[in-house]
């Protein structure tokens, strides 16, 4: 069986991942660190160890994973128009080669903007706390980012050599003191069925009025949990909830067919229980 050139090029990195120690923790983990943060730190150590033997090793590497758990329920005139839940985790990798003074992110002065980045954007990672599955995604994206960074650095150095002296002599990056902090991920417990019933009841009374042309109630909730590790020793784990209830109605202006607000109200809380305690309209 013949292997493509891209597969052959990836084999050394794949072997390095498979042979890497899953317990190669360099920085001490904070108390309360979840399996996600543990996997990220283990893969950071492994990736740096595997890439340090390359001719142009990274001088900085960071991983950030953001998990968003969300719910949204909307009604109009006493009937549901939307009800759904979602959960995802997104990965962002920052890999730099060169030095703090000059690295692959340095703008190329060609009159066409800065150095291009073909791999911008986040990558989905498993929502289950499977260290092996999470590390596999991290390593694959690290490999891709590293190869691109080396190509970018070559273009940057060539551009700096042939262009006139730059006015901005500031460094491309700066070293920062390590920060270590971990808070427990906030629970995401929402009774969707109960909120569907509440949202219907909030808009049902508007159906009795012929001069109300739009009536909407929307409940939304989200818990965003972030994990961040970098090669300077920073390890962070934060979690922030937010829940919102919005009710509005619109009628027509007396001198036109344009809709105008007949009133709206909005509540924002950290816990869904606080919104659930709000009074409901009489049936």
Mean pLDDT of 192-215: 94
In the structure, what pLDDT confidence band is assigned to residue 24 with cuts at 50, 70 and 90? very low
Using pLDDT thresholds of 50, 70 and 90, give the confidence band for residue 166.
Answer: low
Give the model confidence (pLDDT) of 189-202 as tens digits.
999 999 999 999 99
Mean residue pLDDT across the chain: 86
**By percentage, how much of the chain surpasses pLDDT 70?**
84
Q: Worst-scoring range by mean pLDDT, 3-17, 70-84, 162-176, 256-270? A: 3-17
pLDDT over 70 at 18, yes or no: no
pLDDT digits (tens, 9 = 90+) for 229-243: 999 999 999 999 999
pLDDT-based confidence at residue 77 (cuts at 50, 70, 90): very high
Find out whether 250 and 233 touch, Cβ atoms under 8 Å. no
Of the pLDDT bands very low, low, confident and very high (cuts 50, 70, 90), residue 107 is confident
Stated as kind and residue range, the H or E segment containing 6 is helix 5-19
In the numeric block, which tokens belong to residue 46? Answer: 């492994």
Are the beta carbons of 43 and 227 closer than 8 angstroms? no
Q: Contact, 90 vs 122, CB < 8 A?
A: yes
- Over residues 202-227, mean pLDDT: 95
Distance separating alpha carbons of residues 203 and 78, to the nearest angstrom: 5
**What is the Cβ-side half-sphere exposure of residue 65, based on CA atoms within 13 angstroms?**
28
What six digits make up the tokens of 256? 């036109």
| pLDDT tens-digit map of 85-98 | 999 999 999 999 99
Report the DSSP beta bridge partners of residue 116. none
């Amino acid at each position: 069986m013949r292997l493509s050139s891209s597969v052959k090029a990836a084999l050394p990195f794949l072997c390095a991942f498979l042979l890497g120690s899953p317990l190669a923790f360099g920085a001490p983990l904070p108390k309360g660190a979840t399996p996600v943060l543990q996997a990220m730190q283990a893969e950071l150590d492994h990736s740096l160890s595997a890439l340090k033997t390359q001719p142009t090793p990274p001088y900085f590497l960071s991983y950030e994973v953001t998990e968003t758990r969300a719910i949204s329920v909307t009604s109009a005139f006493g009937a549901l128009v939307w009800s759904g839940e979602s959960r995802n985790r997104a990965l962002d990798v920052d890999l730099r080669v060169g030095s703090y003074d000059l690295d692959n992110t340095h703008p190329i002065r060609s009159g066409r903007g800065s150095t291009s980045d073909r791999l911008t954007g986040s990558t989905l990672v498993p929502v289950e706390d499977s260290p092996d599955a999470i590390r596999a995604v991290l390593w694959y994206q690290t490999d891709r980012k590293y190869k691109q960074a080396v190509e970018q650095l070559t273009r940057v150095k060539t551009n700096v050599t042939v262009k006139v002296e730059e006015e901005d002599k500031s460094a491309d990056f700066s070293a920062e003191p390590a920060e270590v902090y971990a808070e427990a991920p906030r629970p995401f417990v929402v009774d969707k069925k109960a909120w569907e019933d509440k949202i219907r009841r909030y808009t049902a009374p508007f159906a009795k009025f012929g001069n109300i042309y739009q009536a909407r109630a929307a409940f939304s909730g989200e818990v965003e949990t972030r994990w961040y590790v970098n090669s300077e020793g920073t390890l962070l784990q934060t979690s922030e909830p937010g829940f919102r209830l919005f009710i509005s109605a619109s009628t027509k202006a007396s001198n036109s067919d344009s809709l105008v607000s007949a009133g709206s109200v909005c509540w924002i809380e950290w816990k869904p229980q606080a919104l659930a305690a709000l009074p409901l309209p009489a049936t």
